[in-house]
């Protein structure tokens, strides 16, 4: 899967402002809504929160992958955000999360939605890359790190 | 290409007229023969799978040998009608019976075409194509040369139709039994397993093209013409041209054809028409100087990418289960033990060389690309068993008078030996370390299992079903393999893994590199189960629903 096709400067939020898990998800949804077409922002937010309620998407080593399925979007939407200070995201290892990969995918349309998450997760297995991403500071730099 | 059968039919009809038998009597005999064949073949097939752990085709073949005219068949006497099975003009089956066997071979190849994963053929690994092609060429030339170099069998030229047939008979791998062993050893998603399965797809397609070329050459030779290298070029171009052009046309128009057929709105009618089209193309292929099974295979291939493919497979399964064993049993019946005596040694050598030709032909390219000797041996052994297609080709050769009964027996012998040798050897070869070269071993291509245990078999099956649906939703190609155990092969670009239902365990064999995807998707499916649980809780109390259903039953 080609990450370059999926990512652009407009899909990267270099400094997430939120301090709580719910606020972070809301900020990411609003960021997605600003740059893409989401027919129902509240439904999209609810989908992500519902998924989060079933099981936290806070993984290990500071990574979180909040996501939701909703027909408020017509194609896979992706946002990547960094919060150098970290947020408590109920992560599996109990550590605060610093890198957030948010995806919204249409519920009734086929496509490589989870495959995108898997691809980017594979990249983030690299400790050095994670550290560089947190230290990057700008959308250009983050995009460059993920796609080159 | 039906010289023998035609001559035999004429004689048979004349005999029937001469002896005062009418067509009703011929049909009665046919029906009784079919009854015996179906029952004996099915029981034989069952015994082979149940007790020998071998494919049912082996039991069906052996049943045929036992009840054929050269064994018990001629000793079973029907009052007033004579022996149950009797040889006519050097042919073990009557024309009517052979007709039914031919129909079965068309169904077999039509379904083989339908099941061919064309997307994988077009997009899948280079190693698969090299391994498939290596095995094909080596097996063909070794088979052909063995026939020529063997003294006293009357074959002196590599272009002799009989030599060409002995070459092409040893080409087609039957990967069914290999798939079962790979699943048993949990090696389906191993680099060797993937290569074998991909190689087998290439082997199928190239094998059919090779048969087309050989049929063309044999036809020219049989008509008394000499086949020189220029001639071969033209025949090969024609055969490949027919294959490529008709397949391309089929693929281009398959969707249009099926959407026209769908106007009938009845699955039965749609499936029957598709089968009719397969028979039509089979007939046209024979008219064009190729074999009927080539046409049937191409029609299957063309329809394999339409949404009707699954319906056709499902609806023809019943017919397949009854007719195809008849075909293998009839092939067994044709083995004339007395004609085989003089060629027994030749048969043994031919079979042995058929083993080496595949092991080396597939193993060497695999070794040259990325496997070590152990891996190469596994791949060679996996491609070793010959089966259905070899038998069909041998049957065509016998019916056309290209090969005699002795050589036909040799072909059957080779099929039986390779099929029986493969499982124990393959099982043994998979003991031990990685089959990849040192520099690749331990890499992300290493395969590992993810096991999920559920409280009941029903839940395992349910979750597997959901997982398959989710994978298709993610645009993966999910193929169910023809094994008793529920096994799915999942593919997309360079990703490949296998789902196996093993009792209450759901096992996923995947390369380490692809495990994050599997884990993420499985987690989502597990979570969706909780939605389902919530929904069931919202249902009316189950007990009151049940009593609502049963109330009044005993009033």
Q: What secondary structure does DSSP assign to A57-100, as a single string?
A: -B-STTEE--EEE-TT-SS-EEEEEEEEEEE----TTSPPEEEE
Contact A95, A60 (CB under 8 A): yes
Tell me the per-residue pLDDT of B278-327, one tens digit each, with 9 for 90 and over: 999 999 988 877 788 889 988 998 888 787 887 888 889 899 999 999 99
Residue in the block written with tokens 């991909």: B198
Under the banding of pLDDT at 50, 70 and 90, the label for residue B125 is low
Helix (H) or strand (E) holding A130: helix A127-136
Q: Which residues in chain A have Cβ-Cβ distances shorter than 8 Å to B307? A: none
Q: Does B256 touch chain A (CB under 8 A)?
A: no
Give the mean pLDDT of B472-486.
77
Mutate to test the interface with B, among A114, A117, A123, A124 (most CBs of B within 10 A): A114
The pLDDT of residue B369 is above 50: yes
- Interatomic CA distance for residues B401 and B206, integer angstroms: 24
Task: Tell me which DSSP letter residue B106 carries.
Answer: H
Mutate to test the interface with A, among B524, B530, B534 (most CBs of A within 10 A): B524
Residue of A nearest to B534 (CA): A54
The pLDDT of residue B2 is above 50: no
Catalytic center residues of A = 67
- At B87 the pLDDT is 82
Of A51, A115, A119, the CB nearest to B474: A115
- Interatomic CA distance for residues B525 and B418, integer angstroms: 43
Give the mean pLDDT of A116-137.
89
Q: Does B517 touch chain A (CB under 8 A)?
A: yes
Task: Tell me which DSSP letter residue A88 carries.
Answer: -
Give the mean pLDDT of B447-467.
88
Per the CB < 8 Å rule, is A115 touching B523? no
- Residue A120 to chain B, least CA–CA distance (Å): 10
Of A54, A55, A114, the CB nearest to B521: A114
Of B472, B473, B520, the CB nearest to A117: B520
- At B256 the pLDDT is 87
Nearest to B117 by CA among B383, B447, B489, B365: B489
The pLDDT of residue B413 is above 80: yes
Per the CB < 8 Å rule, is A121 touching B524? no
Of A54, A55, A112, the CB nearest to B474: A112
Under the banding of pLDDT at 50, 70 and 90, the label for residue B5 is low
Per the CB < 8 Å rule, is B527 touching A51? yes
- Residue extent(s) of CATH 3.30.310.10 domains in chain B: 447-537
Per the CB < 8 Å rule, is B474 touching A121? no
The pLDDT of residue B478 is above 90: no
- Residue A112 to chain B, least CA–CA distance (Å): 5
Residue of B nearest to A59 (CA): B520
The pLDDT of residue B444 is above 80: no
Cα angle value B132/B424/B420 (rounded, 5°): 70
Q: Which residues in chain B have Cβ-Cβ distances shorter than 8 Å to A55? A: 523, 527
Per the CB < 8 Å rule, is B517 touching A54? no
Mean pLDDT comparison of A75-89, A104-118, B71-85, highest-scoring range: A75-89
Lowest-confidence region among B34-48, B86-100, B223-237, B263-277? B223-237
Give the mean pLDDT of B115-133.
71
Tell me the per-residue pLDDT of B30-81, one tens digit each, with 9 for 90 and over: 999 999 999 999 999 999 988 988 888 889 999 999 999 988 988 888 887 7
A80 or A137, greater pLDDT = A80
The pLDDT of residue B445 is above 90: no
- Interatomic CA distance for residues B459 and B425, integer angstroms: 36
Helix (H) or strand (E) holding B499: strand B495-502
- At B135 the pLDDT is 93
Q: Which residues in chain B have Cβ-Cβ distances shorter than 8 Å to A111? A: 474-475
Q: Which residues in chain A have Cβ-Cβ distances shorter than 8 Å to B473? A: 110
- At B121 the pLDDT is 58
Helix (H) or strand (E) holding A81: strand A77-87
Tell me the per-residue pLDDT of B91-106, one tens digit each, with 9 for 90 and over: 788 889 999 999 999 9
| Residue B229, token pair as written in the block | 């290298």
The pLDDT of residue B119 is above 70: no
Residue in the block written with tokens 């994988």: B120
- Interatomic CA distance for residues B373 and B363, integer angstroms: 8
Lowest-confidence region among A24-33, A50-59, B148-157, B158-167? B148-157
Q: Does B516 touch chain A (CB under 8 A)?
A: yes
Which of these CATH numbers, 3.40.50.720, 1.10.10.10, 1.10.3720.10, 3.40.930.10, describes A3-147?
3.40.930.10
Per the DSSP assignment, residues forming a β-bridge with A105 are: A69
Lowest-confidence region among A19-33, A106-120, A124-138, B412-426? A106-120
Q: Which fold has domain B95-429?
A: Na+/H+ antiporter like fold (1.20.1530)
Q: Does B547 touch chain A (CB under 8 A)?
A: no
Distances (CA, A) of B197 to B29, B75, B391, B496: 43, 44, 21, 11
Residues in chain A: 148
- At B477 the pLDDT is 77
Buried b (16+ CB within 10 A) or exposed e, B407-422: bbbbbbbbbbbbbebb
Q: Does B269 touch chain A (CB under 8 A)?
A: no
Q: Which residues in chain B have Cβ-Cβ distances shorter than 8 Å to A118? A: 514, 516-517, 520-521
Q: Does B475 touch chain A (CB under 8 A)?
A: yes
Q: Does B494 touch chain A (CB under 8 A)?
A: no
The pLDDT of residue A19 is above 60: yes
- Residue extent(s) of CATH 1.20.1530.20 domains in chain B: 95-429
The pLDDT of residue B147 is above 80: yes
Mutate to test the interface with B, among A112, A121, A123 (most CBs of B within 10 A): A112
Residue of B nearest to A69 (CA): B524
- Residue ranges of alpha helices (H) inside B95-228 are 95-115, 118-123, 126-149, 161-169, 176-184, 191-222
The pLDDT of residue B12 is above 70: no
Domain B447-537, CATH 3.40.50.720 — does that match? Answer: no
Quote the mean pLDDT of chain B.
Answer: 83
Of B472, B517, B523, the CB nearest to A115: B517
Of B473, B517, B527, the CB nearest to A55: B527
- Interatomic CA distance for residues B110 and B120, integer angstroms: 18
Which residues from A are below 8 Å from B when comparing CB atoms?
51, 54-55, 110-115, 117-119, 121-122
Please give the full DSSP string across B461-496, using - where no structure is assigned. Answer: HHHHHHHHHHHHHTT-EEEE-SSSS-EEEEEETTEE
Q: Does B472 touch chain A (CB under 8 A)?
A: yes
Contact A133, A3 (CB under 8 A): no
């Amino acid at each position: 899967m080609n990450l370059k096709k999926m990512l652009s400067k407009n899909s990267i939020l270099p400094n997430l402002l939120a301090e709580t898990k719910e606020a972070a998800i809301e900020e990411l949804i609003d960021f997605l809504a600003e740059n893409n077409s989401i027919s129902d922002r509240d439904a999209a937010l609810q989908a992500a929160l519902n998924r989060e309620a079933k099981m936290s998407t806070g993984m290990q080593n500071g990574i979180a992958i909040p996501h939701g399925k909703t027909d408020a979007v017509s194609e896979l939407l992706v946002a990547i955000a960094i919060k150098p200070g970290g947020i408590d995201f109920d992560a599996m290892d109990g550590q605060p999360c610093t890198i957030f990969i948010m995806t919204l995918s249409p519920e009734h349309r086929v496509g490589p939605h989870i495959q995108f998450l898997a691809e980017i997760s594979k990249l983030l297995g690299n400790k050095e890359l994670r550290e560089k991403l947190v230290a990057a500071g700008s959308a250009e730099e983050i995009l460059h790190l993920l796609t080159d | 290409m039906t010289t023998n059968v035609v001559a035999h039919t004429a004689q048979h009809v004349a005999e029937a007229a001469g002896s005062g038998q009418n067509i009703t009597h011929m049909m009665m005999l046919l029906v009784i023969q079919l009854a015996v064949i179906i029952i004996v073949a099915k029981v034989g097939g069952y015994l082979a799978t149940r007790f020998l752990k071998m494919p049912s085709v082996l039991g069906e073949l052996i049943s045929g040998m036992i009840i054929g005219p050269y064994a018990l068949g001629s000793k079973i006497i029907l009052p007033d009608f004579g022996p149950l099975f009797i040889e006519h003009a050097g042919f073990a089956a009557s024309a009517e019976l052979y007709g039914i066997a031919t129909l079965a071979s068309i169904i077999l190849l039509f379904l083989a075409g339908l099941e061919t994963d064309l997307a994988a053929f077009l997009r899948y690994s280079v190693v698969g194509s090299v391994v498939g092609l290596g095995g094909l060429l080596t097996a063909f030339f070794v088979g052909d040369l063995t026939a020529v170099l063997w003294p006293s069998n009357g074959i002196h030229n590599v272009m002799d139709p009989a030599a060409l047939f002995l070459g092409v008979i040893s080409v087609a791998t039957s990967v069914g039994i290999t798939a079962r062993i790979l699943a048993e050893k949990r090696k389906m998603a191993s680099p060797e397993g993937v290569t074998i399965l991909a190689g087998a797809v290439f082997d199928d397609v190239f094998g059919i093209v090779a048969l087309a070329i050989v049929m063309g050459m044999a036809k020219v030779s049989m008509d008394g013409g000499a086949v020189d290298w220029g001639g071969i070029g033209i025949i090969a171009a024609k055969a490949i041209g027919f294959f490529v052009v008709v397949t391309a046309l089929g693929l281009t128009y398959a969707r249009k054809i099926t959407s026209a057929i769908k106007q009938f709105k009845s699955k039965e009618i749609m499936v029957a028409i598709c089968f009719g089209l397969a028979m039509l193309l089979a007939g046209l292929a024979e008219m064009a100087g190729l074999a009927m099974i080539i046409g049937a295979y191409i029609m299957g291939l063309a329809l394999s990418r339409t949404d009707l493919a699954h319906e056709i497979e499902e609806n023809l399964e019943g017919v397949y289960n009854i007719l195809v064993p008849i075909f293998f049993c009839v092939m067994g019946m044709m083995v004339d033990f007395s004609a085989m005596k003089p060629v027994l040694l030749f048969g043994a050598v031919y079979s042995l060389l058929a083993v080496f030709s595949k092991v080396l032909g597939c193993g060497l390219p695999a070794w040259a690309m990325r496997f070590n000797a152990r891996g190469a041996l596994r791949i060679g052994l996996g491609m070793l068993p010959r089966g259905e297609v070899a038998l069909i080709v041998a049957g065509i050769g016998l019916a056309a008078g290209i090969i005699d009964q002795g050589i036909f027996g040799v072909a059957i012998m080779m099929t039986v030996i390779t099929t029986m040798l493969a499982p124990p050897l393959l099982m043994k070869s998979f003991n031990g370390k990685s089959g990849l070269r040192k520099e690749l071993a331990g890499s992300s291509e290493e395969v590992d299992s993810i096991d999920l245990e559920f409280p009941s078999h029903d839940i395992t099956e349910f979750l597997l079903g959901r997982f398959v649906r989710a994978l298709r939703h993610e645009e993966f190609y999910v193929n169910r393999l023809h094994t008793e155990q529920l096994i799915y092969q999942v593919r997309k670009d360079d990703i490949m893994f296998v789902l196996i239902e093993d009792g209450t365990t759901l096992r996923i064999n995947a390369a380490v590199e692809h495990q994050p995807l599997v884990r993420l998707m499985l987690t989502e499916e597990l979570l969706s189960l909780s939605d389902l649980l919530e929904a069931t809780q919202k249902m009316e109390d189950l007990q009151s629903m049940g009593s609502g259903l049963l109330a009044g039953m005993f009033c």
